Amino acid sequence: MLSKILSAGLIGIDAYPVEVEVDIAPGIARWTTVGLPESSVRESQERVIAAIRNSGYHFHRRRITINLAPADIKKEGTAFDLPIAVGLLASSELIDRQKIGRILMAGELSLHGEIKPITGALSIALMARKKKIPSLILPEKNVSEASVVSDVTLFGVRHLSDIVQHLTDEKKLEPAIPTPFSFEDGPSFSADFSEVKGQFQAKRVLEIAAAGGHNLLMMGPPGSGKTMLAERLPTILPPMEFEEALETTKVYSVVGQLDGRRSLLKERPFRSPHHTISDAGLAGGGAHPRPGEVSLAHNGVLFLDELTEFKKNVLEILRQPLESNKMTISRALTSVTFPARFMLVASMNPCRCGYLGSRRRPCTCSPEQIDHYRTRISGPLMDRIDLQIEVPPVEYKDLAGSGACESSSEIRKRVNRARLIQKERFQRHKVYCNSQMKGQLIQKFCSLDREGARILEQAVETLGLSARAYDRILKVARTIADLKSSEQISASHLAEAVQYRVLDRSFKG
């Protein structure tokens, strides 16, 4: 007897519908799964059989054929356990087959019949709504993330017997209550900019970076506060919009990094991978591609501490997502694209020993060693970093001073005002902040007066800037003007933007 039930698979961070067909026919007992199943799917046989038996049910042990359609896409993961088990019970006439036709199910089964959480539940719920599938059954621990999706009746279940009782009308499941997205319980931070002594220029540059979504490089000796500054950047970033939170949560759902208690992530991600990370760890990859750090930082911050310690081939991977805001992983039979729109914040020492230019300790590096150290960062990568500053050691008077420093909330108010200006400016365009402007938008919104044009021309000739660096100076100047609520970019705005490109001549790798 044949039964059909809906389930879902994942490609990248998006789900696609899978029809699970279960046929029990007379003959010698055997189990065959077709439809390009991976090992985790083929292994479901033993889990499903034990789960059904230990839940107190029995099915016909005859010739069993499981088909996962479409058959041209590889199926992986344990989410097919639940629909296969329900399909077997329906084919054994323990469940009415008519009742499972318009219900999508996904879940992993334990040997006791308990339903364990899966990855990608939010993506599955979004796909169900898009395909107008009326009902969705997921593990109870996945309900929080999936309940944000409206127009789908969602049921959370703990045990296989819960579903059987629901479908046989013995004990109906209660639908989950949809969770509306709200900022009322938004992100809270343990760190604050008021804790940072001195470093007034660095704080100013971080404010500009946050206001325009610009990439940033900080160079300075050990102990100057580069890491401390970077870790406080999320505290001044604007809150995520609903669509941003949805897409970011999808990424974390796919890799199984949600805690199961919150519907959507409300904090912008802050990722700080170690410098020993591999290219696959940063970009994503594997036999079945999974998001890497650039995608886990989507809509947030990717912080690379000790930038020159990263392998050069790993750093060059950043060029694609910094330009296109996405990361494409290609394999022999498939190609997967992950979102990767993030702010790159990097820190480094000025030389190998770390004390070039220091008044406190002498530098022990030769000119050749300094050049070799800095050329680990290629020119094309430097071009994509909008803001480049030196972070000197903090002076004693600043460390010992008792004066109050500006808090993150005060800085965030200015950042939010600048972002609101940009939101209104770009409401008819597919960008939301200044750093995303290209070509015609730069020409339209970054016009200069005569004095500003003269300053920029002189900077290009003196620093030997590329066309990409030229555009990025204009975008930074636009952000500085927005922070001043100025419609026109003035010469002073441009001059400030130019001074944040002074490291260009030192990096020509």
pLDDT of residue 75: 93
* Average of per-residue pLDDT across 151-164: 97
* Average of per-residue pLDDT across 233-251: 95
Residues 6+ apart with CB under 8 A from 427: none
Rounded to the nearest integer, the mean pLDDT of the chain is 93
Tell me: the pLDDT tens digits for 286-340? 878 899 999 999 999 999 999 999 999 999 999 999 999 999 998 766 789 999 9
Higher pLDDT, 3 or 501: 3
For 428, the token pair is 């008819």
* Contact status, residue 228 vs residue 347, Cβ threshold 8 Å: no
* Contact status, residue 119 vs residue 77, Cβ threshold 8 Å: yes
Higher pLDDT, 352 or 189: 352
Tell me: the pLDDT tens digits for 454-493? 999 998 888 888 888 899 999 999 999 999 999 999 999 9
pLDDT of residue 422: 97
pLDDT of residue 494: 95
* Amino acid occupying residue 503: L
Higher pLDDT, 9 or 358: 9
139 upstream amide cis, omega within 30 of 0: no
Tell me: the pLDDT tens digits for 495-508? 999 999 877 666 65
pLDDT of residue 183: 62
Alpha helices in 297-445 (DSSP H): 312-316, 319-324, 367-374, 379-383, 396-400, 408-425, 439-445
DSSP state letters, 299-332: TSEEEESSGGGS-HHHHHTTHHHHHHSEEEEE-S
**What is the rounded CA–CA span in Å between residue 476 and residue 487?**
14
pLDDT over threshold 80, residue 250: yes
pLDDT over threshold 90, residue 259: no
Tell me: the pLDDT tens digits for 122-135? 999 999 999 999 99
Tell me: the pLDDT tens digits for 440-457? 999 999 999 999 999 999
pLDDT over threshold 90, residue 207: yes
**What is the rounded CA–CA span in Å between residue 294 and residue 272?**
10
Q: What is the dihedral of CA 141, 79, 13, 295, to 10 degrees?
A: 70
Query: Which of 101, 110, 181 lies closest to 148 in space, CA to CA?
Result: 181
Whole-model pTM: value is 0.93
Higher pLDDT, 270 or 185: 270
pLDDT of residue 507: 61
> What are the structural domains of the chain?
2-167 (3.30.230.10), 193-506 (3.40.50.300)
- How far is CA 175 from each of CA 153, 156, 159, 178, rounded to the nearest angstrom? 6, 7, 16, 9
pLDDT of residue 186: 62
pLDDT of residue 509: 46
Percent pLDDT > 90 in the chain is: 79
**SS3 of 157, please?**
strand
Instruction: Give just the sign of the alpha carbon dihedral 488, 491, 495, 496.
Output: negative
Least confident window among 74-88, 142-156, 182-196: 182-196
**What is the rounded CA–CA span in Å between residue 91 and residue 89?**
5
Q: What is the dihedral of CA 77, 79, 85, 90, to 10 degrees?
A: -120
Alpha helices in 171-317 (DSSP H): 200-212, 226-231, 242-254, 279-283, 293-296, 312-316
Tell me: the pLDDT tens digits for 18-67? 999 999 999 899 999 999 999 989 999 999 999 999 999 988 888 999 99
Query: Which of 446, 430, 437, 431 lies closest to 478 in space, CA to CA?
Result: 446
